[in-house]
């Protein structure tokens, strides 16, 4: 009798084990690594593939870029929803559009390519008229990061030397991409050995109908922000935190991107469409909703959460059909949009904006989550 009970117990354990093992392996994203290509100087660029259920993300070490992101629609049909290229040369040889890149050291613009810190003036390379855009001529988007596999994803590290693109301090930046529970999380860490300024973001262009599937004007956007930072003709913030109420920049109620994009509005004219930083309403440093975007024909929904104080909503106004991306798709005007979670543009020159300073002994830590679901 006792032996029989033992046998039944053992059988129960085996059954439990057989049920739990496949469950556990389903929950943990599968991570694989391969070579994506060689740069012109012969450096190997690796690509990490993260797979969880039907979602698949590929991240390469050149620019720590999100190369592809496959997500199911309401019928389970999978499409790649980020713009980019099929091979490394596409990224290195074409005009820089920051497809999928980690942008640094400073995301968006620094006016007149200069700022002061601790009473000292720093000069940066100007690469956008007289201003510095996205970290300078050789920003983090063009560096080869060191990758290694972590649970659910990949961690990428880069060391930027003191004086790199004019910025002070040796900066060590680490970015973790992980895929878990139908969401792609990007976590940022950085330390410095001298006082410096820093603003890291990811510059993925989304098209929730699938990259190459036309413009994004019918995507319905919600941004829960009462204010934004208006810009001048160089797309530099004026310093105001203006109310969105009564303007075509108000996305507090879900609205199609195309509904008002051609309205007679000075800010839309300056941006050639939406290219504006929204001031998120809640407390900094805690995850809060920054945006929700729904694509009506496929039902794909993207929800963005972030610890950052701002989000740059960019409607792909500089895409002009000259870039031919994945499978030769022509990336015409407004065929992708970006939601760059960030500190405000030109913060080093605006003492009233949330600070972007980082000091030795401090660790910069921010996180952004892109969550995927579907709507009927
Ligand atoms: C950001 C900027 C835009 C543009 C793109 C890159 O989103 O705000 O003005 O420079 O990057 O083309």
The whole-number pLDDT of residue 26 equals 52
Most informative mutation of 83, 107, 109, 134 for ligand 1 (most atoms within 8 A of CB):
134
The whole-number pLDDT of residue 21 equals 46
The whole-number pLDDT of residue 52 equals 97
For the stretch 129-133, contacts whose Cβ atoms lie closer than 8 Å and that sit 24 or more positions apart, written own/partner, are 129/234, 130/234, 131/234, 131/235, 131/236, 132/106, 132/165, 132/166, 133/108, 133/109
276 in catalytic set: no
User: What distance in angstroms lies between residue 314's CA and the mean position of ligand 1's atoms?
Assistant: 7
User: What distance in angstroms lies between residue 175's CA and the mean position of ligand 1's atoms?
Assistant: 21
Q: Which atom of ligand 1 is nearest to the CA of 97?
A: 12
The whole-number pLDDT of residue 22 equals 46
User: What distance in angstroms lies between residue 108's CA and the mean position of ligand 1's atoms?
Assistant: 7
* CA 35 to the chain's CA centroid: 23
Within 13 Å and on the Cβ side, how many CA atoms surround 145? 31
Dig out the tokens for 16 from the structure. Answer: 């439990």
Strand, helix or coil for residue 69: strand
Within 13 Å and on the Cβ side, how many CA atoms surround 54? 12
The whole-number pLDDT of residue 18 equals 47
pLDDT tens-digit map of 135-188? 999 999 999 999 999 999 999 999 999 999 999 999 999 999 999 999 999 999
26 in catalytic set: no
Nearest-CA residue for atom 3 of ligand 1:
275
Model pTM score = 0.93
Please pick, among 46, 295, 340, 366, the residue that the annotation labels catalytic: 340
Could you say which DSSP state residue 144 is in? Answer: B
Most informative mutation of 96, 133, 203 for ligand 1 (most atoms within 8 A of CB):
133
Kindly report the CA angle at 61 between 55 and 139, in degrees rounded to 5?
Answer: 115
Please pick, among 203, 276, 329, 350, the residue that the annotation labels catalytic: 203
Nearest-CA residue for atom 6 of ligand 1:
97
Most informative mutation of 109, 273, 311, 314 for ligand 1 (most atoms within 8 A of CB):
314
Residues of the chain with pLDDT under 70: 1-26, 281-282
Dig out the tokens for 351 from the structure. Answer: 């003492």
Nearest-CA residue for atom 2 of ligand 1:
108
Nearest-CA residue for atom 9 of ligand 1:
275
User: What distance in angstroms lies between residue 156's CA and the mean position of ligand 1's atoms?
Assistant: 23
Check if the beta carbon of residue 331 is closer than 8 Å to that of residue 325: yes
The binding-site residues of ligand 1, defined as CB within 6 angstroms of any ligand atom, are 97-98, 108, 133, 235, 275, 312, 314, 318, 338, 340
pLDDT tens-digit map of 288-315? 999 999 999 999 999 999 999 999 999 9
């Amino acid at each position: 009798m006792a032996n029989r009970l033992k046998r039944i117990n053992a059988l129960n354990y085996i059954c439990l084990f057989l049920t739990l093992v496949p469950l556990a392996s389903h929950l943990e994203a599968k991570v694989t690594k391969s070579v994506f290509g060689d740069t012109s100087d012969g450096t190997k660029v690796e690509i990490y593939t993260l797979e969880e259920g039907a979602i698949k993300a590929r991240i390469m070490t050149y620019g720590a870029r999100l190369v592809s992101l496959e997500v199911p629609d309401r019928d389970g049909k999978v499409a790649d929803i980020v713009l980019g290229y099929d091979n490394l040369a596409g990224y290195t040889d074409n005009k820089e559009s920051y497809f999928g890149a980690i942008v640094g050291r400073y995301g968006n613009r620094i006016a007149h390519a200069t700022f002061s810190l601790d009473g000292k003036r720093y000069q940066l390379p100007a690469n956008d008229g007289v201003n510095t855009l996205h970290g300078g001529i050789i920003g983090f988007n063009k560096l080869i990061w060191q990758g290694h596999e972590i649970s659910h994803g990949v961690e990428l590290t880069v060391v930027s030397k003191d004086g790199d693109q004019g910025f002070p301090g040796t900066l060590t930046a680490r970015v973790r991409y992980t895929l878990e529970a139908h969401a792609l999380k990007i976590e940022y860490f950085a330390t410095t050995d001298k006082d410096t300024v820093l603003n890291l973001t990811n510059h993925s262009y989304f098209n929730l109908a699938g990259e190459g599937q036309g413009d994004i004007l019918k995507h319905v956007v919600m941004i829960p922000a009462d204010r934004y930072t208006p810009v001048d003709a160089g797309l530099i913030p004026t310093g105001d935190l203006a109310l969105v109420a009564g303007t075509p920049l108000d996305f507090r109620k879900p609205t199609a991107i195309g509904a008002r994009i051609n309205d007679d509005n000075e800010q839309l004219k300056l941006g050639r469409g939406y290219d504006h930083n929204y001031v998120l309403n809640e407390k900094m440093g805690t995850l809060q909703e920054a945006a929700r975007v729904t694509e009506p024909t496929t039902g794909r929904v993207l929800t963005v959460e972030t610890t950052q104080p701002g989000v740059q909503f960019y409607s792909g106004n500089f895409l002009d059909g000259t870039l031919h991306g994945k499978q030769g798709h022509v990336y015409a005007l407004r065929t992708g949009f970006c939601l760059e979670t960030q500190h405000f543009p030109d913060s080093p020159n605006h003492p009233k904006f949330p600070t972007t300073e980082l000091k030795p002994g401090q660790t910069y830590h921010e996180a952004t989550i892109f969550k995927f679901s579907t709507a009927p």
